[in-house]
Amino acid sequence: MTSTLDADLTHDAFLGGRLHLWQPRDGYRAGVDPVLLAASVPARAGQSVLDLGCGVGAAALCLGARVSGLELVGVERQADYATLAVRNGLQAHAADLTDMPAELRDRSFDHVLANPPYFNRAAGHVADDSGREAGRGVETPVAAWIDAAARRLRHKGYLHMIHRAERLPDLLASAAGRLGSPEIWPLCPRIGKAAELVIFRARKNGRADFRLHFPVILHEGARHERDGESYTHKIQSVLREGAALHL
């Protein structure tokens, strides 16, 4: 029987039905971006993963659906979303990433994931729904996300973050002196189109030079020509089959 509370939620399929997540019917809802982020992480069984700003747990749980035997932990400042993340199966804490609980401050992780809010509200419109606004509008600066990741990563651990392409200068500047071996994968909507998103990888105590990789193309064709999905086979495999995004 559906409760009044559950009537305000949806139970959505991800990875072709391999994973189902409770999400608010209205408000911020996980889409493609956390799935792509999770697919980019080369985690191995036995490793630990911290998802910063985890929302309902989409990124961490998509990663866990692909790689078994991971310890998955999340931090989410919106208590309602953290509660849903726990219901979805993530060990989630309701806390701000700039003021984590003591039990997390005493720990380090092999991987940190982050899908921060994208949009600068000094130059945009505030969403009516508070959950949607917190998930999309920037309040915590990129530098704070990088700092939180650097503090929680163990030696040679990796940060993976998905963000808007125009925020790349902020990402690189914030990581300088905190994380090394920076790498960028542009995510382009189509061949011949500029990247709108990037996947950013950096390593705790990494020493390798900066690397800018070949773009990942999301959709077939040079332009949108028909209704329905047009993802490339590679991206379809990620979204529908839970495949890794081999970068």
DSSP 120-184: -GGGS---SSHHHHHHHB--S-HHHHHHHHHHHEEEEEEEEEEEEGGGHHHHHHHHTTT-EEEEE
Integer Cα distance of 44 and 32 in angstroms: 23
Report whether pLDDT(90) > 70.
yes
Residue 99 domain flag = yes
Report whether pLDDT(12) > 90.
yes
Report whether pLDDT(201) > 80.
yes
Instruction: Determine the average pLDDT of the residues in 94-123.
Output: 89
Q: Cα–Cα–Cα angle for 143, 149, 153, nearest 5°? A: 150
Confidence of residue 100 (pLDDT cuts 50, 70, 90): very high
Residue 11 domain flag = no
Residue 139 domain flag = yes
Domain count, the chain: 1
Residue 236 domain flag = yes
pLDDT at 228: 64
- Check which CATH number belongs to the domain holding 110 and give it: 3.40.50.150
Confidence of residue 18 (pLDDT cuts 50, 70, 90): very high
Residue 30 domain flag = no
Residue 2 domain flag = no
pTM of the complete model: 0.89
Residue 29 domain flag = no
pLDDT at 247: 82
Query: For residue 124, what are the domain limits?
Result: 35-241
Residue 211 domain flag = yes
Instruction: Determine the average pLDDT of the residues in 77-87.
Output: 97
Q: Cα–Cα–Cα angle for 83, 75, 147, nearest 5°? A: 165
Report whether pLDDT(162) > 70.
yes
Instruction: Determine the average pLDDT of the residues in 171-193.
Output: 97
Provide the token pair at 102.
């003591």
